């Protein structure tokens, strides 16, 4: 039976042995150190991405469906090419017929329009939509306001611009009430959206670089030769699936899709962000996992090697201990503890390196090293020590005392 | 009943090409509180016999009873326990742990015996004081002289109150003056009632014992009582 004495003697011997071979011990743990650094930084980055994702999702608004000719993430974009365009009239009809929806908002857009004020200009997407856009988008203007029913119906030349557009065109001037040119046409700025930021380069979904004008105006001046999007937000308390089923059923009728045939339109949700996130996370995870396992493997082999050396060097000591009454299990335990302690020190060294690095990551991607990762890495380190120490420790334990004592 | 009962013990090493007969039929009894010296030329099997007696090695054949118990029936853990509680070893090369203090070296058998740390320390300190090293307890082996190192080893052999002390050429690595000091220590231990077995090839050292056992080619060649054992007093 192993007693507490074995344990404290084991740790004591381990520390003495490690202190006697400081350089060797540190070099041996290199693999563990790298493994722990990779694991902790990986977890920190993933945690940061998760936080960023949450922010993006909340800016998109929950339970909003985006009906579009395209499926955002189907991987079969060519299917959509033969679909008929979604029109403003279809959006109108959908709005009239849906009972469970709070808002049905047509959005028509045009890419890479020039926004100009005085001698400054930037390019960005131009959207034509209706006042309910405020409901589906979940964002309110930081300054000014969104356009109202009257401006919308009359197709007034007013616009709300994204935060970056405002920064670029106006610098320190107050944009509200100023007139900008959009592809040559004059618009009065009535609102500026708050800053959203972008998530993993999904700037195309961020309103920061876009501008919004009344749908009527857009159709009059820019026409529409492309398919529009329809944003649908369900009423509060409506079951997600019910709302979705009604929406799909009605829209299939509007588009005259024969029963049994696939939808000729895409139903998208913010879940796509989750998909992007999951993709990125699993990439980081796979790469990190490979590097980690590789370095732990290398580290483990190194530990095993050094433990064999340590057992060999201390053969006579093992013989002496056995002569004094050490059992096989206490010798086994002694060397296991030594291996685990070396690895544990490697783990701590790894944490000491990754901690400042995680603070640097925090600057770029707000995050913090999760506590469970710290605990996990130390546990993994100890486990590697125990696994790679087991064979050398066993060699030591089963030595014949006489042979060990004779060893020169 | 004899403390040690050895009958027809054979120890053979199979070296592949030849069989080495380190012990070829040894029979001896040793009583409690005896002081025995084992002598004989190099290669005669002295160390092999000591290792068998010390339960460090198992004979190829023959019977070995220690305190009435058949050692051949014991498993590894039981052997370790006997070595820990019943036997105290003193080696020619001291075999101290180089990076530990004298005190910790002496504590080792108590650690394996599961003695609580407070009591362990007390007993180790006492054992060191008894061998005259009360002022060297926190020294490491390389800070001690050869004689002092062997005293630490003796203290370590004594600390768990063994039934018997086995010393294989304890003075072999010491100059003659220091050797005599260690022999004085052994005489004292014997006077206190301890049982001692000592391997040596120096007649003068063996004369301290009360019985001399001579081995030759793995056999007991003679077994005689020493009429007038040297005491440390007679050497002073
Ligand atoms: N592990 C071993 N393998 C093979 N032969 C061995 C082994 N141990 C001892 N021997 C042989 O057994 C014989 C007795 O050895 P032992 O060590 O008992 O002699 P000894 O009397 O102690 O000699 P010395 O006075 O030189 O110490 C020798 O011939 C030795 O070569
Ligand atoms: Mg010998």
Whether B47 lines ligand 1, by a CB cut-off of 6 Å, is yes
What mean pLDDT value characterizes chain B?
93
Mutation test residue for ligand 1: of B9, B11, B13, B38, the one with most atoms within 8 Å of CB: B13
Among A360, A71, A44, A49, which Cα is nearest to A198's?
A49
In terms of C-beta density within 10 A (0-12 exposed, 13-18 middle, 19 or more buried), how is residue B185 classed?
Answer: buried
Cβ(A230)–Cβ(A88) under 8 Å?
no
- Looking at the structure, tell me whether residues A183 and A119 fall in a common domain: yes
Local structure of residue B12 (DSSP, 8 states) = E
Q: If you take atom 24 of ligand 1, which residue's CA is the nearest one? A: B42
The answer to whether B112 contacts A324, with C-beta atoms less than 8 Å apart, is yes
By CB neighbour count within 10 A (0-12 exposed, 13-18 middle, 19+ buried), where does A360 fall? exposed
**Segment B175-180 mean pLDDT:** 90
Residues A113 and A15 in one domain: no
Q: Is the pTM of this model over 0.80?
A: no
**SS3 label, residue B180:** helix
Quick one: A109 and A37 in the same domain? no
B178 lines ligand 1 (CB under 6 A): no
HSE-up of residue A358 (Cα within 13 Å, Cβ side): 26
Same domain, A256 and A359: no
Q: How many CB atoms within 10 Å of residue B36?
A: 22
- Residue nearest (by alpha carbon) to ligand 1 atom 13: B22
Asked if residue A157 and residue A79 are part of one domain, the reply reads yes
- The two tokens of residue A75 are 């991987």
Burial status of residue B234 (CB atoms within 10 A of its CB: 0-12, 13-18, 19 or more): exposed
> How far apart are alpha carbons B39 and B46 in whole angstroms?
7
Q: What is the pLDDT at residue B145?
A: 94
Find the mean pLDDT for residues B190-216. Answer: 93
The tally of domains found in chain A comes to 2
Position B14 pLDDT exceeds 70: yes
Q: How far is A397 from chain B (nearest CA, A)?
A: 11
Name the residue with the closest Cα to ligand 1, atom 4.
B13
Last residue in a domain, options A247, A269, A291: A269
A105 in the same domain as A48: no
* pLDDT at position A25: 84
DSSP character string of B74-143: --HHHHHHHHHHTEEEE-TT----TTS-HHHHHHHHHHHHT--HHHHHHHHHHHHHHTT-TT-TT--GGG
Structure tokens at B208: 């301290």
**What are the tokens at A173?**
């001037």
| pLDDT tens sequence across B60-70 | 999 999 999 99
Element (H, E) at B221: strand B219-225
Range(s) of the domain holding residue A97? 63-269
Distance B54 CA to ligand 1 centre (A): 16
Size of interface A-B (CB pairs under 8 A): 66
Taken as a whole, chain B contains a residue count of: 236
Question: How crowded is residue A23: how many other Cβ atoms within 10 Å of its Cβ?
Answer: 7
The last residue of one of the domains, among A242, A269, A296, is A269
Q: Is the CB of B22 under 6 A from ligand 1?
A: yes
Residue B95 has its nearest CB partner, among A20, A320, A402, at: A320
A326/B112 touch (CB, cutoff 8 Å), yes or no:
yes
Do A290 and A239 lie in one domain? The reply is no
Q: State residue A269's pLDDT score.
A: 81
Q: Is the CB of B15 inside a 6 Å radius of any atom of ligand 1?
A: yes
**pLDDT grade, residue B201 (50/70/90)?**
confident
Residue B221 has pLDDT above 90, yes or no: yes
Say which of B56, B100, B108 has its CB closest to residue A401: B56
Helix/strand/coil (H/E/C) assignment for every residue in chain A: CCCHHHHHHHHHHHHHHHHHCHHHHHHHCHHHHHHHHHHHHHHHHHHHHHHHHHHHHHHHCCCEEEEECCCCCCCCHHHHHCCCCCCHHHHHHHHHHCCCEEEEEEEEEEEEEEEEECCEEEEEEEEEECCCHHHHHCCCEEEECCCCHHHHHHCCCEEEECHHHHHHHHCCCCCCCCEEEECCEEEEEEEEECCCCCCCCCHHHCHHHCEEEEHHHHHHHHCCCCCCEEEEEECCCCCHHHHHHHHHHHHHHHCCCCCCCCCCCEEEECHHHHHHHHHHHHHHHHHHHHHHHHHHHHHHHHHHHHHHHHHHHCHHHHHHHHHCCCCHHHHHHHHHHHHHHHHHHHHHHHHHHHHHHHHHHHHHCCCCCCHHHHHHHHHHHHHHHHHHHHHHHHHHHCCCHHHHHHCC
Task: Give B85's contacts in chain A (Cβ within 8 Å).
Answer: 325
Residue among B47, B200, B205 to mutate when testing ligand 1 (max atoms within 8 A of CB)? B47
Nearest-angstrom CA–CA distance, A213 and A18: 71
Q: Which residues pair with A187 in a beta bridge?
A: A180
Q: Give residue ranges of A with CB < 8 Å to any B CB.
A: 3, 5-6, 8-9, 16, 20, 316-317, 319-328, 330, 400-402, 405
- Domain co-membership, A253 together with A151: yes
pLDDT at A203: 46
Q: pLDDT digits over B63-117, tens only?
A: 999 999 999 999 999 999 999 999 999 999 999 999 899 999 999 999 999 999 8
Q: Is the minimum CB–CB distance between B176 and chain A shorter than 8 Å? A: no
Statement to judge: residues A116 and A44 lie in one domain: no
- Closest CA–CA distance from residue A276 to any residue of chain B (Å): 58
What pLDDT was estimated at residue A111?
86
Cβ pair B112:A405 closer than 8 A: no
Are both A288 and A329 inside the same structural domain?
yes
- Let me know whether A189 and A325 are in one domain: no
**Chain B residues with CB-CB distance to A405 below 8 A:** 56, 91, 95
pLDDT surpasses 80 at B232: no
Q: Where is the domain boundary, A236, A251, A269?
A: A269
Q: Is residue A143 located within the same domain as residue A255?
A: yes
Going residue by residue through chain A (408 aa), what tens digit of pLDDT does each one get?
Answer: 456 666 777 788 888 888 888 888 888 888 899 999 998 998 888 888 887 777 666 655 567 888 998 887 666 767 777 888 999 999 999 999 999 999 999 999 888 899 999 999 999 999 999 999 988 887 778 899 999 999 999 999 999 999 889 999 998 899 999 999 999 999 999 999 988 766 544 444 678 889 999 999 999 998 877 889 999 999 888 888 888 999 999 999 999 999 988 889 988 887 766 777 788 888 888 888 898 889 889 999 999 999 999 999 999 999 999 999 999 999 999 999 999 999 999 999 999 999 999 999 888 877 888 888 899 999 999 999 999 999 999 999 999 999 999 988
Query: B208 in ligand 1 pocket by Cβ < 6 Å?
Result: no
Domains and CATH numbers, chain B: 31-57+73-235 (3.40.50.300)
- Residues of chain B with Cβ-Cβ distance to A325 below 8 Å are 80-81, 83-85, 109, 112-113, 160
């Amino acid at each position: 039976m192993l007693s507490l004495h074995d344990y404290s003697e084991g740790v004591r011997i381990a520390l003495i042995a490690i202190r006697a071979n400081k350089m060797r011990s540190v070099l041996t743990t290199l693999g563990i150190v790298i493994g722990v650094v990779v694991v902790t930084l990986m977890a920190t980055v993933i945690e940061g991405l998760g936080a960023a994702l949450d922010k993006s999702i909340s800016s998109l608004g929950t339970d909003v469906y985006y009906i579009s000719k395209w499926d955002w993430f189907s991987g079969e974009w060519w299917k959509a090419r033969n679909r008929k365009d979604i029109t403003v009239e279809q959006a109108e009809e959908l709005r009239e017929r849906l009972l469970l929806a709070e808002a049905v908002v047509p959005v028509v857009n045009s890419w890479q329009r020039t926004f100009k004020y005085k001698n400054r200009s930037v390019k960005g997407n131009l959207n034509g939509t209706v006042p309910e856009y405020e409901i589906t988008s979940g964002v309110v203007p930081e300054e000014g306001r969104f356009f109202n029913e009257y401006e919308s119906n009359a197709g007034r030349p007013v616009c709300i611009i994204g935060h970056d557009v405002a920064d670029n065109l106006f610098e320190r001037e107050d944009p509200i009430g100023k007139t900008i040119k959009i592809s040559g046409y004059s618009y009065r700025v009535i609102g500026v959206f708050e800053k959203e930021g972008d998530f993993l380069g999904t700037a195309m979904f961020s309103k920061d670089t876009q501008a919004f004008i009344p749908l009527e105006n857009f159709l009059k001046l820019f026409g529409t030769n492309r398919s529009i999007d329809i944003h649908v937000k369900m009423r509060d308390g409506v079951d997600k699936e019910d709302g979705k089923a009604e929406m799909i059923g009605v829209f299939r009728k509007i588009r005259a899709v024969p029963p049994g045939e696939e939808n000729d339109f895409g139903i998208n949700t913010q879940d796509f962000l989750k998909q992007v996130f999951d993709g990125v996370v699993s990439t980081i995870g796979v790469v990190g996992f490979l590097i980690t396992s590789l370095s732990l493997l290398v580290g483990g082999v190194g530990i095993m090697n050094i433990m064999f050396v340590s057992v060999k060097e201390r053969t006579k000591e093992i013989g002496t201990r056995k002569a004094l009454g050490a059992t096989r299990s206490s010798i086994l335990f002694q060397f296991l503890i030594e291996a685990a302690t070396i690895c544990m020190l490697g783990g701590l060294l790894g944490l000491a390196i990754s901690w400042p690095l995680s603070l640097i990551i925090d600057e770029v991607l707000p995050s913090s090293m999760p506590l469970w990762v710290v605990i996990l890495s130390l546990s993994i380190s100890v486990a590697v020590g125990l696994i790679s120490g087991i064979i050398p420790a066993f060699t030591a334990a089963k030595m014949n005392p006489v042979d060990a004592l004779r060893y020169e | 009943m004899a403390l040690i009962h050895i009958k027809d013990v054979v120890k053979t090493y199979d070296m592949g090409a030849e069989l080495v007969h380190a012990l070829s039929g040894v029979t001896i009894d040793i009583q409690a509180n005896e002081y025995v010296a084992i002598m004989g030329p190099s290669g005669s099997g002295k160390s092999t016999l000591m290792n068998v007696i010390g339960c460090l090695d198992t004979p190829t054949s023959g019977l070995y009873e220690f305190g009435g118990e058949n050692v051949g029936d014991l498993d590894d853990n039981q052997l370790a326990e006997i070595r820990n509680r019943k036997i105290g070893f003193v080696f020619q090369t001291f075999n101290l742990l180089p990076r530990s203090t004298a005190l910790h070296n002496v504590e080792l058998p108590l650690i394996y015996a599961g003695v609580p740390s407070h009591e362990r320390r007390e007993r180790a300190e006492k054992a060191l004081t008894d061998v005259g090293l009360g002022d060297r307890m926190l020294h490491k082996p390389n800070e001690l002289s050869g004689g002092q190192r062997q005293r630490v080893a003796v203290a370590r052999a004594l600390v768990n109150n063994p039934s018997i002390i086995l010393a294989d050429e304890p003075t072999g690595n010491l100059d003659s003056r220091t050797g005599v000091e260690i022999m004085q220590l052994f005489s004292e231990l014997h006077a206190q009632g301890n049982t001692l077995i000592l391997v040596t090839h120096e007649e003068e050292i063996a004369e301290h014992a009360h019985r001399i056992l001579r081995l030759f080619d793995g056999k007991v060649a003679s077994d005689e009582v020493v009429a007038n054992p040297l005491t440390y007093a007679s050497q002073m």
